[in-house]
Amino acid sequence: MTTPRKTFEFLRRRGDDGGHDDDPGAAATIVGLSDIGQVRMTNQDTYVVAALEKTIHVQQCGLPDNDGARHRETPTGRLMMVADGMGGQLHGEVASAVVVDGMLQYAFSMMPWLRTAAGSQDEAALARGFTKAVKRSHERMREVAERKGFTGDMGSTLTMGYVAWPMLYLVHVGDSRAYLHRGGKLFRLTRDHNLAQEMVQAKVLTEEEARRSRYSSMLTNSVSTASESVRVELHAVQLRQSDRVLLCTDGLYGEVTDEEIGQRLLHVEDGVLVEPCVSSLISLANKKGGRDNITAVLALF
């Protein structure tokens, strides 16, 4: 059994100091969309786009015009995630909701306070916290299934990005994906936790063969009731302005090739074009079959 990762893998370029006078992370345009597709009867995907902020709501105050005032900072971080639920009937919807809710609870209770006064990020604490949050969601999946009387297995993927500029911290379980588009090129940031990907690594299948293989639906790692443990993949990427980050479920990349994804992201030059780009990707996936639920979250920095 693979030991869960305890630290982040760093993908930084030499000479990048990450210094910025403003905060492109706070100003980033992030849009998520989800579609049921052409075959499924329900949408078992879930996605979230959120800003982490410090806010004070003044309810009463002796100073003039301060009753009801809200004082807030620009976001201390941005959060985005996709989860692809699995299970019969409504089980998949519940499974993806359990995972997303667990990560949101962690974000609300812990993440905004992990920055020091100097604005740095305690990356070791983040790694421990993210891993603990995913494992708690894994435990809660079984609790929810028992409480609701569900029979059979249920589970979910999770691909989450936390942006604390200039860093993007990725938390990944399953076969949803995170991509980085930079300098006209598309890079996949996560590994698919399925049997097809293992066969690619063993040079039994090519990437294209794996994309269409029946083994691509056989997960080797997920947040689920089917296994006693979960393996958490963590990455840290230093972002640059004009970067595009895409999170998506397999309903998108299973129909749309990486080349097609890259071509569409190439034309996202303005924040107003982000939503049309996401919509066009989902439309293309539907046009090419739409055999699964299709969910995507796109960030432009």
Percent of the chain with pLDDT over 90: 61
**End-to-end alpha carbon distance in the chain:** 38
Contact 83, 47 (CB under 8 A): yes
Query: What six digits make up the tokens of 185?
Result: 């090129």
* 37-52+72-300: CATH superfamily: PPM-type phosphatase domain (3.60.40.10)
User: Which is higher by pLDDT, 111 or 122?
Assistant: 122
Give the tens place of pLDDT for each residue, 138-165. Answer: 999 999 999 988 888 899 999 999 999 9
Asked whether the predicted pLDDT for residue 18 surpasses 50, the reply is no
Average pLDDT of 17-33? 77
Model confidence, pTM = 0.87
Q: How far is CA 225 from CA 6, 37, 187, 296, in A?
A: 23, 26, 32, 25
User: Which is higher by pLDDT, 214 or 5?
Assistant: 214
Strand partners, 183: none
- Which ranges of the chain does DSSP label H, i.e. alpha helix? 24-27, 91-109, 123-148, 195-201, 207-212, 250-253, 258-265, 274-287
User: Which is higher by pLDDT, 245 or 206?
Assistant: 245
Asked whether the predicted pLDDT for residue 189 surpasses 80, the reply is yes
CA–CA distance, 112 with 134 (Å, rounded to integer): 18
CA–CA distance, 126 with 167 (Å, rounded to integer): 12
List the domain boundaries for the chain: 37-52+72-300
Res 1: pLDDT: 40
Q: Pick the most confident of 157-161, 216-220, 270-274.
A: 157-161
CA–CA distance, 103 with 172 (Å, rounded to integer): 12
User: Which is higher by pLDDT, 101 or 125?
Assistant: 101
Average pLDDT of 104-133? 77
Give the tens place of pLDDT for each residue, 94-109. Answer: 999 999 999 999 988 8
User: Which is higher by pLDDT, 203 or 288?
Assistant: 288
CA–CA distance, 161 with 158 (Å, rounded to integer): 10
Four-CA torsion 88, 96, 293, 41, nearest 10 degrees: 40
